[in-house]
């Protein structure tokens, strides 16, 4: 078949979903190296994808602005104008294929607005997004891991990359920034683990006491620092863990970009994380993590690949996929000691692998 010249990837949010879609980019460019690939995504995803060497262009979907305009009928003329501007920009891309791996009404509408010859996506998705498509793939199995599902969509076009890779597009500049950042913390690569406590769903949270106690154990028994990472919204959580650990944890929440976080993750000895976007970013950067799961299913959205450890309690109510839960037994019954044991195992495995590399 003739290689497509221009493809639009439609994956708007959230951060974890964007990271899990990176193997699609790798598959497309591995199969058709000369193909021009653009990606439309939200504001957060754009900060990770901007300047990516495999992408021709990143188009920012202004979700918040469009949402604000849609709420007020008096502002609908402005909304129509914004959509018209977005439509013109998409049509200027002259895409042969629009690949919708989001599966929502807005992503289906974007596929339509792109005027691509082929508008591809899964049937049976939420919000009727398939009505905008002219090539509907069979409904996917929700228990199939998201990374594999996205690659299934790429494979339907003929894109196959063999080994699954997460091309983050990090540069030597990103690495240097991370090294300088660590120097400011008086740390070296391999001398710390990262803690990722924040998540949008309250039901996914582990306890502040658990993270605090873990940081103390890691410092006392492994001689490693615990660096708490997250967005500005996670700053109260990071400070609480710092205080609860009596300084054993280092709080840098709100102080890193996504690219800096990815670079730091690649230099850590291990990580402990809830089910959240930065978990996928850390795993994509090559960090083996201990992932704490309760209300969600790790076989669907867990850290992808070998070497990770998932801790999950076998309860009848789990996974419930509820954002809110008054009891959160599935998360609160996870003890700091069992998490520490998992961290200790991953740190030991990393040291063994490093020694093997030195011998080779």
In order, the DSSP letters of 152-188 are HHHHTTT---SS--------HHHHHHHHHHHHHTT--
Reported as half-sphere exposure (CB side, CA atoms, 13 A), residue 292 has a value of: 29
pLDDT tens sequence across 199-255: 999 999 999 999 999 999 999 999 999 999 999 999 999 999 999 999 999 999 999
Q: What domains appear along the chain, each with residue ranges and CATH number? A: 6-155 (3.40.50.2000), 172-359 (3.40.50.2000)
58 sits in which H/E element? strand 57-60
Query: Confidence band (pLDDT; 50, 70, 90) for 357?
Result: low
Q: What angle do CA 300, 302, 305 make, to 5 degrees?
A: 110
pLDDT tens sequence across 266-306: 999 999 999 999 999 999 999 999 999 999 999 999 999 99
CA 288 to CA 351: how far, in whole Å? Answer: 12
Percent of the chain past pLDDT 90, that is, above it, reads 92
Would the CA dihedral through 288, 196, 292, 343 be positive or negative? positive
CA 205 to CA 303: how far, in whole Å? Answer: 17
Is the model's pTM score more than 0.85?
yes
pLDDT of amino acid 272: 98
**3-state secondary structure at position 69:** helix
Summarize the confidence of residues 316-327 as an average pLDDT. 94
CA–CA distances in Å: residue 278 to residues 228, 229, 253, 338, 355: 12, 9, 12, 22, 28
Query: Confidence band (pLDDT; 50, 70, 90) for 1?
Result: low
290 sits in which H/E element? strand 289-293
pLDDT of amino acid 243: 98
pLDDT tens sequence across 61-120: 999 999 999 999 999 999 999 999 999 999 999 999 999 999 999 999 999 999 999 999
Reported as half-sphere exposure (CB side, CA atoms, 13 A), residue 153 has a value of: 32
pLDDT of amino acid 94: 97
Largest CA distance in the chain: 69
CA 9 to CA 17: how far, in whole Å? Answer: 13
- Strand runs (DSSP E) across 188-269, as ranges? 192-196, 225-228, 249-251
pLDDT of amino acid 165: 96
- Asked if the peptide bond before residue 14 counts as cis, ω within 30 degrees of 0, the response is yes
Would the CA dihedral through 200, 293, 314, 215 be positive or negative? negative
- Residue where the block lists tokens 């604000």: 68
Query: Confidence band (pLDDT; 50, 70, 90) for 353?
Result: confident
- Residue 358, pLDDT above cutoff 60: no
Summarize the confidence of residues 169-182 as an average pLDDT. 97
Which residues 6+ apart lie within 8 Å of 275 measured at CB? 199, 201, 204, 291, 292, 293, 296, 298, 301, 302
């Amino acid at each position: 078949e003739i290689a497509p010249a221009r493809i639009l990837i439609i994956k708007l949010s959230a951060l974890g979903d964007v990271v899990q879609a990176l193997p699609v980019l790798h598959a497309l460019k591995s199969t058709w190296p000369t193909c021009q690939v653009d990606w439309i995504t939200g504001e957060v995803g754009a900060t990770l994808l901007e300047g990516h060497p495999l992408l021709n262009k990143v188009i920012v979907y202004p979700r918040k602005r469009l949402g604000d305009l849609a709420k007020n009928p008096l502002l609908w003329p402005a909304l129509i104008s914004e959509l018209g501007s977005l439509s013109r920009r998409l049509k200027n891309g002259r895409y042969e294929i629009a690949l919708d791996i989001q599966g929502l009404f807005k992503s289906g509408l974007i596929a339509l607005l792109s005027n691509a010859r082929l508008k591809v996506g899964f049937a049976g998705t939420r919000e009727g997004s398939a009505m905008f498509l002219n090539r509907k793939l069979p409904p996917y199995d929700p228990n199939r891991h998201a990374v594999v599902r996205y690659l299934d969509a790429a494979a339907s076009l003929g894109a196959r990359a063999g080994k699954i890779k997460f091309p983050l597009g990090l540069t030597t500049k990103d690495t240097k920034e991370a090294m300088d950042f660590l120097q400011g913390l008086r740390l070296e690569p391999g001398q710390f683990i990262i803690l990722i406590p924040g998540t949008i769903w309250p039901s996914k949270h582990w306890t502040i006491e658990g993270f605090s106690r873990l940081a103390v154990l890691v410092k006392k028994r492994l001689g490693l620092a615990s660096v708490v990472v997250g967005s500005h919204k996670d700053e109260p959580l990071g400070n609480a863990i710092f205080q609860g650990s009596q300084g054993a944890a280092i709080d840098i929440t709100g102080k890193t970009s996504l690219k800096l976080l990815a670079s730091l993750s690649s230099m850590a000895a291990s990580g402990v994380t809830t089910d959240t976007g930065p978990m996928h970013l850390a795993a994509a950067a090559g960090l083996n993590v201990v992932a704490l799961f309760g209300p969600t299913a790790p076989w669907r959205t867990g850290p992808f690949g070998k070497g990770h450890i998932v801790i999950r309690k076998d309860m009848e109510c789990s996974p419930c996929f509820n954002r809110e839960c008054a009891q959160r037994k599935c998360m609160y019954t996870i003890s700091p000691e069992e998490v520490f044991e998992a961290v200790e195992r991953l740190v030991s495995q990393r040291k063994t692998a490093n020694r093997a590399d030195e011998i080779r």
